[in-house]
Amino acid sequence: MYRVLVVDDEPLIRESLSSKIEQVGEETVVSGTAANGAKALEWLDGHYADICVTDVKMPIMDGLELIGKVRERYPWMISVVVSSYDEFDYAKTSMQLGAVDYIIKPVDQQHLDEAFARATHEVSSRRKADAALLLMRSLPHHQDMLKRWLLQFQTVQLETLPLLVVDTLDMLESLAGDRFYLLNPMSMAWLELIVEELKKEKVRIELHEGKDLGLWEKTIPHEKVRSYFRLCAVRRLEEGANRIFAVCQALKDQPARRAVEEVKAFVNEHYADKLNLQDIADRVAFSRNHFAHMFKQETGTTIWHYLIQIRMGKARELLLGTGMKVYEIASAVGYDNSVHFSQVFKEHFGLSPAEFKKRMER
């Protein structure tokens, strides 16, 4: 998700422009607005953004000075200029300062869509290039981690995946430093490396980067930026691992796989309900014992462990992305007893809810 700061001294224009930006696509959201460059920098002192959209002529600090300071202080950001002045010098200066586009008011939605397509592509391309370079330079030092991942798929030990994901995240963060926005592309680069290794075993896998829509609020204060990108990276690594395993299993019995996929979809939707094995097996007209055996063969794990995976994944998101108490999270994911929930959480992640939150947010 790309978060945008809108800067214009006219309140109605700020509102109109924000509305148009929200229509660009579901992955683009307006996180904040400001009346001039000075106010924009004040906002950026306390909040995170990927893209700055700014007017040129504003009191106190104009847009050109603002995008120069944004480039200096927040090098991961991209700027787009929106102006009433169709003047070559303004456009030239804005481009020299790093803006990716110069749009004339009144803003046409199509022009804005095209500008954001360029801006988001630039943001994504830069980060992917930086992430790939960091990972490739350090790879000789992380062969043990690579072997651990390959062993997961070779021995079907998915029960240990959650802790492996957290260990991998720590490894990636040690490379990214305080550039937390690189954790997502580094996670994808790591997964693609795993896929390349599996090609040696004649396994062909196509990965798609997932979406983090709704994973956090539109506005992220600086003290939460690390937690947000770590959570996104954990989701990315888990989704990628599950995709790789699914492709490996797809080479097996097709009817059985369809039945298992139907049950997985059912569990994904009803994870907070009281479920028993007979209810689940009835979904696909199998006996309990036969389905339990088939599910284990197809997925490498039991139906109950899969249910726990789903519940724990949701619990992790609530733990890190909301202010809910542990007992509230327990209830939301299907546990009446918060003590039992905490025990299951620790068995799954290797850490208690409090320890996990501390490690993710430290």
Q: What is the CATH number of the domain that holds 330?
A: 1.10.10.60
Residue 35, domain CATH: 3.40.50.2300
Q: Indicate whether 115 belongs to any domain.
A: no
359 and 285 together in one domain: yes
Query: For residue 342, what are the domain limits?
Result: 254-362
C-alpha torsion sign, points 100, 105, 107, 108: negative
81 and 141 together in one domain: no
Axis crossing angle, helix 222-249 with helix 143-155, rounded to the nearest 10: 40
Q: Indicate whether 117 belongs to any domain.
A: no
90 and 157 together in one domain: no
Q: Indicate whether 132 belongs to any domain.
A: yes
Q: Indicate whether 235 belongs to any domain.
A: yes
- Higher-pLDDT residue of 165, 276: 165
- Higher-pLDDT residue of 103, 128: 128
Residue 146: both structure tokens together: 């690579």
262 and 223 together in one domain: no
pLDDT, one tens digit per residue, over 148-175 is 888 777 665 667 788 888 899 999 999 9
337 and 285 together in one domain: yes
40 and 150 together in one domain: no
219 and 149 together in one domain: yes
50 and 70 together in one domain: yes
359 and 259 together in one domain: yes
Domain end position, chosen among 251, 277, 304: 251
135 and 223 together in one domain: yes
pTM of the model: 0.69
Q: Residue 109: which of 9, 195, 25 has the closest Cα? A: 25
pLDDT, one tens digit per residue, over 174-221 is 999 999 999 999 999 999 998 888 777 666 777 777 666 566 788 999
Number of domains in the chain: 3
Q: Indicate whether 239 belongs to any domain.
A: yes
Q: Indicate whether 112 belongs to any domain.
A: no
How far apart CA 214 and CA 63 sit, in angstroms, is: 31
**81: part of which helix (H) or strand (E)?**
strand 78-83
Residues ≥6 apart with Cβ < 8 Å to 125: none
51-54 sheet: strands from edge to edge: 28-34, 2-7, 51-54, 78-83, 99-104
Q: Residue 222: which of 29, 33, 43, 28 has the closest Cα? A: 43
pLDDT, one tens digit per residue, over 294-311 is 888 777 788 888 889 889
244 and 272 together in one domain: no
Domain end position, chosen among 251, 268, 290: 251
The one-letter amino acid at 215: L
Helices (H) and strands (E) in the chain, counts: 16, 5
pLDDT, one tens digit per residue, over 210-251 is 666 566 788 999 998 998 999 889 989 988 888 887 776 665
Does the pLDDT of residue 257 top 90, yes or no?
no
82 and 34 together in one domain: yes
Q: Indicate whether 113 belongs to any domain.
A: no
Domain end position, chosen among 251, 282, 303: 251
pLDDT band with cut points at 50, 70 and 90 for residue 10: very high
